[in-house]
Amino acid sequence: MFKKQNIVKLVLHLSVMLLLLVVVLNLTIYGLKAYTNHGESIGVPDLVGMKIDELEPFMQNYELQYVIIDSISDNRKPKGIVIDQDPPKQSNVKKNRKIYLTINALSKKMVGMPNISDVSLAQAKATLQSKGLDVGEVTHEVSDCEGCVIRVLYKSVKKIAGEKVPEHAKIDIVVGKLPESSAQNKDSIPITD
């Protein structure tokens, strides 16, 4: 059914295809090894605790790049230092790999002043503390509203709801009190016949 000549051509074509497949696979493997620098790596330096203005000159000694991806506000640590890095120190990576850094913010985190006008002193204190603000000096001033917050101050400047102030800022509170004559009249009940 098959001629000897056809079988020889079939075997020859299959052999050429197999040879080409082996050559292409070897070229691909060799090319990938060269492209990915297989077997070559660089140790990642410890960047945690370093100031961000020191990073550029320091990283020139390495064939690595860095990217600041996040900042946090930690009052216990100096501003502008590296808090975390990925990959961690002493990891082996390829050259030109990016090291992702988290730094401590250069400026304080800002929060919006909550609306605490016309609320009680206790409620105002609780609201300020829930927003990350500290209660400063509490003073009293004559007003129609006894025991309620008349205004709030930051560094002696009146603040309104929504204005930004640094987190943990000391906020002074001015609370209303009735005039002395009104307070005395409030306690006495007139008797009528």
Q: Retrieve residue 134's tokens.
A: 């500290």
Q: Is 165 exposed, middle or buried (0-12, 13-18, 19+ CB in 10 A)?
A: buried
How far apart, in whole angstroms, are the C-alpha atoms of residue 140 and residue 44? 59
Looking at residue 192, its pLDDT comes to 52
What residue spans of 73-115 are helical by DSSP H? none
Cis peptide, bond prior to residue 87, ω within 30 of zero: yes
Cα dist from 29 to 12, 15, 35, 39, whole Å:
26, 21, 10, 14
Does some domain include residue 100?
Answer: yes
Does some domain include residue 136?
Answer: yes
Q: Which amino acid is at 188?
A: S
Q: What is the mean pLDDT of residues 32-56?
A: 84
- List the CATH number of the domain containing 99: 3.30.10.20
Please state the pTM of the whole predicted model.
0.52
Q: What is the mean pLDDT of residues 129-153?
A: 91
How far apart, in whole angstroms, are the C-alpha atoms of residue 4 and residue 88? 66
More confident residue, 182 or 93: 93
Same domain for 22 and 47? Answer: no
Same domain for 35 and 99? Answer: no
Instruction: Say if CB 124 and CB 162 are below 8 A apart.
Output: no
Does some domain include residue 193?
Answer: no
How far apart, in whole angstroms, are the C-alpha atoms of residue 168 and residue 128? 9
What's the pLDDT band for 193 if we cut at 50, 70, 90?
very low
Looking at residue 191, its pLDDT comes to 47
Same domain for 129 and 85? Answer: no
Same domain for 75 and 20? Answer: no
pLDDT, tens only, 76-128: 888 889 999 999 988 888 888 899 999 998 887 889 999 998 999 999 999 99
Total domain count for the chain?
3
> In the predicted model, what is the mean pLDDT of the chain?
86
Q: Retrieve residue 46's tokens.
A: 């410890």
Structural domain boundaries, residue 55: 42-104
Does some domain include residue 192?
Answer: no
What residue spans of 36-174 are helical by DSSP H? 52-59, 121-130
Instruction: Say if CB 144 and CB 175 are below 8 A apart.
Output: no
